[in-house]
Structure 1
Amino acid sequence: MAQIDPQLGYDFCVTSLETDSRSYTTDLQGLGVISVELAITRASITISYIKDLMKNTTSDPFIKERLRSCLDQYSNAIPTLENSSMAFKSKRYEDVNIWVSAAMDGATTCEDGFNEEEGHVSPLTKENGELFQLGAIALAVTHLL
């Protein structure tokens, strides 16, 4: 799949999918569902992390505002990804592409927000990158289906 999407890292793809034991026995569609489920988990974990950051780590208004924006992006991503999972199971791959792309855009928007003012670094770079890559796995699967 990494050959299909140059932004998709092979090691990340394999390592991520291997965390779910179903990946060893499922078909391509099943791998797509697993990748979306992993993205939902990543988004949920990131929401908790953002809330902790907002409470405990910064008083900088710029950072707090970006974290609020990221919280909105991730909160919106979860139902969108849940819809994607159902669409995968129903073989509605065009819907999967739209909804997964929207979640990926949310991660990109979150990351880009921290670059709007010089001197700030995103505390969510790893999380945004992982959500984006998990989405890229799902999109690569739909391309193969």
Structure 2
Amino acid sequence: MIAQVCDHTLNKKLCGTVLETGGTASDFPGLARIALKAAMANASAIFNHVNDLAHTATPDPFVRQCLADCSDDYQDAMDQIEDSLAAIDSRGYDDVSAWVGAAMNDADSCEEGFKSKMGYSSPLTDMNAAFHEICTVALAVTNLLIEM
């Protein structure tokens, strides 16, 4: 099952790692739960990191606002992943797909906030990209469930 899912992703190695280290699953909904739990753990770690940065950030008001926005973005992302986990159990796979996509957009919004002003770069670029990649694994499983 893992190989079947990971064949639908660009980063097959990450996909395999996420699905193999997240526990055991006997079906595709179980694999979706594993991927969503990995996305949740990642989003939570980023949320905590953003809040730590906010407490130690430079007094630059732009950076502080970007970090506050990222904190909100990742809170929203965690809520959407949580809703997705509940939707798996009720076979609401289209909802899962929409909410995971929205969570990915939240990470993109966080990243773009820093880039909106010349001369600034995000201290979260790598973390945002990793979250995005983990979400693509959840979407790959969800898309298979939708097709079934």
Relative to the length of structure 2, the TM-score reads 0.87
User: When the two structures are aligned, how many residues end up with a matched partner?
Assistant: 141
Q: Is the 8 A contact 2:50 2:67 kept in 1?
A: yes
Q: Is the 8 A contact 1:104 1:132 kept in 2?
A: yes
Q: Deviations over 1:51-101 (max 9, x none)?
A: 110111322221111111110000111121111011112211011011111
Structure 1 segments unaligned to the other structure (5+ residues): none
Where in structure 1 do 4 or more consecutive aligned residues deviate above 4 Å?
Answer: none
Secondary structure in 2 aligned to 1:118?
A: coil
Percent identity over the alignment?
38
Structure 1 residue 4 corresponds to structure 2 residue 8:
yes
Please give the root-mean-square deviation of Cα atoms over the aligned residues, in Å: 1.5
Q: Deviations over 1:36-61 (max 9, x none)?
A: 11111111111110111011132222
Counterparts of 1:1-145 in structure 2 under 5 Å? 1-5=5-9, 8-22=10-24, 25-145=25-145
Q: Output the CA distance in 1 between the equivalents of 2:70 and 2:104.
A: 12
- Given residue 120 of structure 2, which amino acid in structure 1 is its aligned partner? H
Structure 2 segments unaligned to the other structure (5+ residues): none
The structural deviation recorded for 1:3 is: 4.2
The 1:31/1:132 distance shift into structure 2, 3 A limit, reads same
The structural deviation recorded for 1:123 is: 0.9
Q: Is the 8 A contact 2:33 2:88 kept in 1?
A: yes
- Given residue 14 of structure 2, which amino acid in structure 1 is its aligned partner? F
Secondary structure in 2 aligned to 1:91?
A: coil
